[in-house]
Amino acid sequence: MKQIKDYQGKKVLVLGFGISGINAAKLLVKLGATVVANDKQVPEDPSVVEGLKAAGIKTITGENPLSLSEEGFDLMVKNPGIPYDTPLVAAFVKRGTPIITELELGAKIFEGRLISVTGSNGKTTTTTLLEQMIAQDNPNRVAYAGNIGVSFSKVAQELGKDDTIVTEASSFQLLGAPTYHPHIAVITNIFANHMDYHKTRQNYIDAKLGITRNQTKDDYLVINWDNEEWQELSKRTNATVVPFSRLDKSEEGAYQREGDLYWKNERIMAAKDVTMIGPQNIENALAAIAAAKVAGVKNEAIVRVLTTFTGVRHRLQYVMEYEGRRFYNDSKSTDIEATEVALQGFSQPVILLAGGLDRGYSFERLVPYFKQHVKALIVFGECKDKMKEAGQAAGIKTIIESQDVVTAVPEAWKLSESGDVILLSPANASWDQFPNFEIRGDRFIEAVEKLTGKKEED
């Protein structure tokens, strides 16, 4: 861990008791700061508060008192998911108090090689692939951290100058990381996400590009080349640009051509040998190949990972096969684009489970994918009527309304026959019925296990 004095003698408010907040608070104390930790909720586990107090941290729970903005804090370390228009955060903004996220803090103390992945879709899969590729071919330690559910500031204390951390960086985290500087940055794609938080698509794009803001010509930006907008965005970096392309639009980096995956002019492997299903996972594989090759990873390690890795939980995750039906959990598909690419991954008839939070948009874009891939549609949640309309426009003859993903599973089974795929790919956020997409996916898997009497396959 790099010994820094940036926070010595500073008074810091840590807002949010999540994994990142707890570890950030404890690290700041080690770095000489006086820390107050605040969470609007009272943690169900009392040991959370007890652990913070034992570390010398004052805790305030059950509310976000506006009076904290008057107590002379030098800095706020904010849970990335808390919006900037939340009253307490807005009060700090108005006072001009710096607000950062744990991503900034972890990077400040990490001495080793930092690689970072962002994007609207595919960042968790790409982060995991890349970490595994480096681990296969590196004598030093490597770990992943960040938005993938592992505290960056904790891992950064444990690894040294010869080690590597691959972070998954969300737009929320990057907004609070003004000096963040990965040696290798990856942008998998950029669509239109989190408009409720960022307000405009341009704000969202600008937040994503924070991953390359501080890069120089000695650094690398790996970026998807299959969209002209993304190609234009590559002009906003000082780093060396390394493209990847599933559509064979560039030979300068990693690309797919005639069924094979290449790095520059060197064939790596056949695309059909990638164990993850779907075109989006070919893109994720190419992004990981490009970053791994820049990082010096040998082809053998890359191939070993891509021919054995079966996917990240809730991201087009293969659950099991039962009586000729294959079940897939794609609960992470919280937008239309993700469901589009999920459907493209199957040649078999699909019984699709879809729906969720109504964000005010229609699903007309899904109509051609429904026509080509979907045999039957089961809808649920706030937007079920809009999803049903898209299914009707596609000419799907069997459309059923269900209460949620749990009740949808036995309905899907009744409609299925051997050779079918039963796919949860909601195209919507889960918050109308579940706290997050992970719980929604878990409930789906549990319902499948109850139906089949089998456990999910590894």
d(CA 344, CA 89): 42
- Mean pLDDT, rounded, for 421-449: 96
pLDDT at 456: 86
- pLDDT of 137: 87
pLDDT digits (tens, 9 = 90+) for 253-289: 999 999 999 999 999 999 999 989 888 899 999 999 9
Distances (CA, A) of 405 to 334, 352, 453: 14, 11, 18
Which pLDDT does position 313 carry in this prediction? 83
* Per-residue pLDDT tens over the stretch 188-243: 999 876 777 888 999 999 999 999 999 999 999 999 999 999 999 999 999 999 99
Q: Residue 232 contacts by C-beta under 8 Å, 6 or more apart in sequence?
A: none
Distance in angstroms (rounded) separating the CA atoms of residues 61 and 40 = 6
CATH code for 11-100?
3.40.50.720
Per-residue pLDDT band at 364 (split at 50, 70, 90): very high
* 458 pLDDT tier (thresholds 50, 70, 90): low
Backbone angles phi and psi of 441, in degrees to 5: -65, -40
Check if the beta carbon of residue 236 is closer than 8 Å to that of residue 209. yes
Per residue in 62-74, pLDDT (tens digit) is 999 999 999 999 9
Model pLDDT for residues 74-98, shown as the tens digit of each residue: 999 999 999 999 999 999 999 999 9
For residue 301 the two structure tokens come to 């390690």
pLDDT of residue 373: 96
The pLDDT value given to residue 318: 87
Q: What share of the chain is helix, strand, coil (3-state, %, to 5)?
A: 40, 20, 40
Cβ(96)–Cβ(120) under 8 Å?
no
Is 174:207 a contact under the CB 8 Å cutoff? yes
Percent of the chain with pLDDT over 70: 100
Q: Tell me which CATH homologous superfamily contains domain 317-452.
A: Mur ligase, C-terminal domain (3.90.190.20)
pLDDT at 457: 75
Q: Which CATH architecture has domain 103-306?
A: 3-Layer(aba) Sandwich (3.40)
Query: 210: Cβ–Cβ under 8 A, 6 or more apart, which residues?
Result: 171, 174, 175, 177, 180
Task: List, for residues 167-193, the tens digit of each pLDDT value.
Answer: 999 999 999 999 999 999 999 999 876
pLDDT in tens, 322-362: 999 999 999 999 999 889 989 998 989 999 999 999 988 89
- Sequence-distant (6+) residues with CB within 8 A of 3 are none
Model confidence at 157: pLDDT above 70: yes
Query: pLDDT band at 302, cuts 50/70/90?
Result: very high
User: 118 Cβ partners below 8 Å, 6+ apart?
Assistant: 168, 169, 170, 171, 174, 185, 186, 187, 188, 208, 211
pLDDT above 90 (res 162): yes
Side chain identity at 21, as an amino acid letter? G
Give domain limits for the chain: 11-100, 103-306, 317-452
**pLDDT score recorded for residue 217:** 98
Least confident window among 41-45, 254-258, 413-417? 41-45
Q: What is the dihedral of CA 438, 173, 231, 199, to 10 degrees?
A: 90
Q: What integer best gives the mean pLDDT of the chain?
A: 95
pTM: 0.81
Which is it for the CA torsion 366, 369, 370, 375, positive or negative?
Answer: negative
At 91 the three-state DSSP class reads helix
Percent of the chain exceeding pLDDT 90 equals 89
How far is 26 from 35, CA to CA, in rounded Å? Answer: 8
Same fold, 103-306 and 317-452: no
Q: What is the mean pLDDT of residues 397-409?
A: 97
